[in-house]
Structure 1
Amino acid sequence: MMNYDIAVIGGGIAGYCAAIRSQQAGRKTVLISQGQSALHFSSGSIDVLGRLPTGEPVVDPFAAISQLESAQLENDELASAVLQEAALPEEADSRQQTIRQTVQHPYVKVGRTGVKQSLLWFKEMLAAEVALSHQPDHANHWRITPFGTLKATWLSQPHVYQHRTNAPFREIVIIALAGYRDFQPQILKDNLARIADFSGLPIRIATIHLPSVEHDQRHPCERRSLDIAHLLQQAPIWSAFCEQLTEMTQSDDLVILPAVVGHGDGMAILDRLQQETQRHFHEVPTMPPSLMGMRLEAALHRIFIQAGGVHLKGDQVLGGHFEGHRLTEVYTRNLTDIPVRAEHYIMATGSYFSQGLQASRQAIKEPVFGLDVAQITPRTQWGGHDFVAQHQPHPFMTFGVSTNDQLHPSYCGETITNLYCCGAMLAGYDPVFEGSGGGVAIATAYHAVEQCITDNVCPATCQEALS
């Protein structure tokens, strides 16, 4: 039997944040993760809120969260009035059911102050590993994507250009690597040239040819970002790379570089590259694996382990046992019949991509415990007419586990008081449409742990500290 104060299920950004915050608070914490997380596919930046659910662009994400809170308050007042006007009991029951299906945005449950506090904590927690930064006025900035579009984001890594209105560069140079297929510089160039802020700047592509490597059996077109990062660890190849970069660009250019530099020590290697070339870089993620996302995951893992946490990596929670309103233990694939027990459990298993939610022809379900899921019927209403929605998200993207304000889910209609859900598995928002995935993951994970700390839910550890 394994006993902990808090058990965290899921090793993505939400799971790591919950586990680190819990361990920092002095709770004996275990993190159970299945394998590679969605961070291997991420940009490495933290989006908080790029646009409202209505499609309205957001400049100040925290002011926009206040708008969400105000809108929810108006909906609650309207719902209360509707119920009071219901003449018949069966009519009231019907309207209560309709209102119950209106799910709050996760940011509303956390609140503007809580969201901001969690993001500043995240930035400070990672500062020694990856020095993320934001704009001085706490507004969004624009990040140039690998496709040459602009995406609103809030926290970016050190070698990411944070665009606002003016681009103070002589020229934009997009670096291509001969034979490398996981980055499309021509698409980036063509799309970037269509953006008004960059229309007056020359944009060109410069191709670097890495020297052939003795005993390298792989064709250049088969190399992934990790392969190139390993090649650049060799002194002759590194020197050739730096020399070509310096020859092809000037110090007042913006050099757009695919993320192929550094693995494990990416920040130190990028700093060294900037020192040796004296160039201004904008690093963009490539096709998976994304070194920028892996950089964050590696840093979060180190921080959690150094804080004294226990990580059951490569394991999977298969189910658990409920007694009344509490989850008493969980069972994993590797531990078989040995239960993991905790005072509280925090679940961050993700959405469809990581199988935290599963879709069938009939319904969306949460596969580990069978928690209640907020969704609409019939299935014909799950999607919108246009594949790429411009003004509203596809309804199925907002489906997820329904929770109360403390992020407690329900099982067969009964609230589970020592289980919390956070991150992409939550109902009530579309992380892709809104550009809010990273922010919701961090804010809800932090909020869940704060509920544990505030409620003083870890008596075993506290008693040990006093004795």
Structure 2
Amino acid sequence: MMNYDIAVIGGGIAGYCAAIRSQQAGKKTVLISQGQSALHFSSGSIDVLGRLSTGERVEDPFAAILQLQNYPFGSSALPGQADLQQHPYAKVGRSAVEQSLLWFKEMLAAEIQFSHQPDYANHWRITPFGTLKATWLSQPYVYQHRSQANFREIVIVALAGYRDFQPQILKDNLARVADFAGIPIRIATIRLPSVAHDQRHPCERRSLDIAHSLQQASVWSSFCEQLTRMTCADDLVILPAVVGHGDGMTTLAQLQQATQRHFHEVPTMPPSLMGIRLEAALHRIFIQAGGIHLKGDQVLSGHFAGESLAEVYTRNLTDIPVRARHYIMATGSYFSQGLQASRQAIKEPVFGLDVAQMTPRTQWGTHDFIADQPHPFMTFGVSTDAHLHPSYRGQRIDNLYCCGAMLAGYDPVFEGSGGGVAIATAYHAVTQCMSDTLCPADRQEVIS
């Protein structure tokens, strides 16, 4: 038997944030995760809120939280019961959302120095496809665009034979952006020398392979020399994220020192080094804080005792239960199999928690795949109350909290809010755990 104060299920950004904050609060914490998370596919930036469900663009994401309303998308998994789920931000509240993002930034400062605009507004980052996407926190070598650009030239770095980055698509789309009108845009192709032990054809190399080859002194020297020769100090150099594996920030700082160039790092096709960099940093912080990580394991089931989750069982521990005073669930959405869809319904596969969803299935999507409104199925998820407690067969589970992409009431893709919701709801869940362990007289200090 394994006993903890808080057990966190899921190793994405929400799971790590919940586990780290719990451990920092002095709680004996275990994190149970299957392995690679969706961070391996992420941009490495933190989007808070890019647009409302109406399609209206958001400049100040924290002010826009006040505009979020209940999103009525039909009945829950329980027959005949109306279920109007609030947006997760509405449950957490503006102040706590802002506090959670600042905590996240400070928590990672020694590993990755994320930054935001001085006025707390969104900025725009250039995507690998040459479009602009609203975000709030970005890694150090990401150009934060706000208005008309004044670079001498924009230089897109291509690596000969590297197929996971399409510089021509980026160039063509970026040329259509009004803010970059009049600025020449060109592609500079770098040819890295072969490494003796590298048996792969150049066209088969992934970002991790290139990062490893750049650790060779001769390859690194050639890379820096070509970059310096092909660009100027007043250019914006768009660089695919292929630099640094495990020591990305240090290596990028060395690259900037060697070349004296202004870089904008963009993620490539998975695996994304910028997302891996973030996951690795979160893992180190959790372990250094004294947390226990059951990595490569999976929670398969649990046992409910009345209104509480008494214990959970994992694939690796088989019949040995994991028990905790509180449980925080952050298993993700469809991509991470935190939600599963069949022809008839959406379900939460671990415990069978109640899911807010529409019936019939014909109402799950809109006519156009790329639409000017959220697809209803993207807003389906686990039903929770204001404290993020889910329910099981209509009964609220008082020591279980859900956070991140598994929650109902929002569309992280349409809104551009995935990272922000993950961090804010994880932070809020731990706040609820701590307040539930205190007497009423002490509770206000923790929540404030």
TM-score (norm 1): 0.92
Distance 2:196 2:27 in 1: 51
Q: How many Å apart are 1:215 and its aligned residue?
A: 3.1
Distance 2:102 2:243 in 1: 27
How well do the aligned residues superpose, as a CA RMSD in angstroms? Answer: 1.6
Q: 1:443: which partner in 2?
A: 424
Q: 1:242: which partner in 2?
A: 224
| Alignment CA distance shift 1:256-1:322 (3 Å) | same
Q: 1:198: which partner in 2?
A: 180
Q: 1:261: which partner in 2?
A: 243
Q: 2:20: which partner in 1?
A: 20
Distance 2:370 2:61 in 1: 23
Q: Secondary structure at the match of 1:237?
A: helix
Q: How many Å apart are 1:67 and its aligned residue?
A: 1.2
Letter in 2 for 1:38: A
Q: 1:367: which partner in 2?
A: 349
Where in structure 2 are the equivalents of 1:38-77 lying within 5 Å? 38-68=38-68, 71-72=69-70
Q: 1:100: which partner in 2?
A: 82
Where in structure 2 are the equivalents of 1:235-384 lying within 5 Å? 235-384=217-366
Q: Secondary structure at the match of 1:131?
A: coil
Distance 1:419 1:389 in 2: 35
Distance 2:436 2:179 in 1: 50
Distance 2:131 2:81 in 1: 38
Q: 1:406: which partner in 2?
A: 387
Letter in 1 for 2:62: F
Where in structure 2 are the equivalents of 1:118-267 lying within 5 Å? 118-267=100-249
Q: How many Å apart are 1:100 and its aligned residue?
A: 3.0
Q: 1:33: which partner in 2?
A: 33
Q: How many Å apart are 1:251 and its aligned residue?
A: 0.1
Q: 2:444: which partner in 1?
A: none
Q: Secondary structure at the match of 2:237?
A: strand
Q: How many Å apart are 1:457 and its aligned residue?
A: 6.4
Distance 1:421 1:26 in 2: 21
Q: How many Å apart are 1:399 and its aligned residue?
A: 0.2
Check conservation: 1:41, 1:289, Cα contact below 8 A. Answer: yes
Distance 1:13 1:343 in 2: 22
Distance 1:445 1:190 in 2: 39
Q: 2:445: which partner in 1?
A: none
Alignment deviations for residues 138-181 of structure 1 (CA, whole Å, 9 cap, x no partner): 00000000000000000000000000002121000000000000
Alignment deviations for residues 355-406 of structure 1 (CA, whole Å, 9 cap, x no partner): 000000000000000000000000011000000112x110000000000000
Distance 2:382 2:148 in 1: 42
Q: Secondary structure at the match of 1:100?
A: coil
Letter in 2 for 1:383: G
Q: Secondary structure at the match of 2:103?
A: helix
Alignment deviations for residues 112-161 of structure 1 (CA, whole Å, 9 cap, x no partner): 00100000000000000000000000000000000000000000000000
Check conservation: 1:31, 1:311, Cα contact below 8 A. Answer: yes
Letter in 1 for 2:95: T
Q: How many Å apart are 1:54 and its aligned residue?
A: 1.1
Letter in 2 for 1:372: D
Distance 1:429 1:34 in 2: 25
Distance 1:401 1:238 in 2: 48
> Which has the larger Rg?
1
Q: Structure 2 regions of 5+ residues with no counterpart?
A: 440-448
Letter in 1 for 2:60: D
Q: How many Å apart are 1:101 and its aligned residue?
A: 2.0
Distance 1:457 1:176 in 2: 56
Letter in 2 for 1:2: M
Check conservation: 1:180, 1:221, Cα contact below 8 A. Answer: yes
Q: Secondary structure at the match of 2:428?
A: helix
Letter in 2 for 1:54: T
Q: How many Å apart are 1:99 and its aligned residue?
A: 8.2
Q: Secondary structure at the match of 1:143?
A: strand
Q: Secondary structure at the match of 1:328?
A: strand
In the alignment, structure 1 residue 394 sits paired with structure 2 residue 360 = no
Check conservation: 1:344, 1:457, Cα contact below 8 A. Answer: no
Report how many aligned residue pairs link the two structures: 436
Picking from 91, 102, 108, the partner of 1:109 is: 91
Distance 1:97 1:151 in 2: 40
Distance 2:385 2:139 in 1: 34
Alignment deviations for residues 409-449 of structure 1 (CA, whole Å, 9 cap, x no partner): 00000000000000000000000000000000000000000
Letter in 1 for 2:2: M
Distance 1:228 1:276 in 2: 19
Letter in 1 for 2:414: F
Letter in 2 for 1:437: G
Check conservation: 1:343, 1:457, Cα contact below 8 A. Answer: no
Alignment deviations for residues 282-337 of structure 1 (CA, whole Å, 9 cap, x no partner): 00000000000000000000000000000000000000000000000000000000
Distance 2:197 2:204 in 1: 15
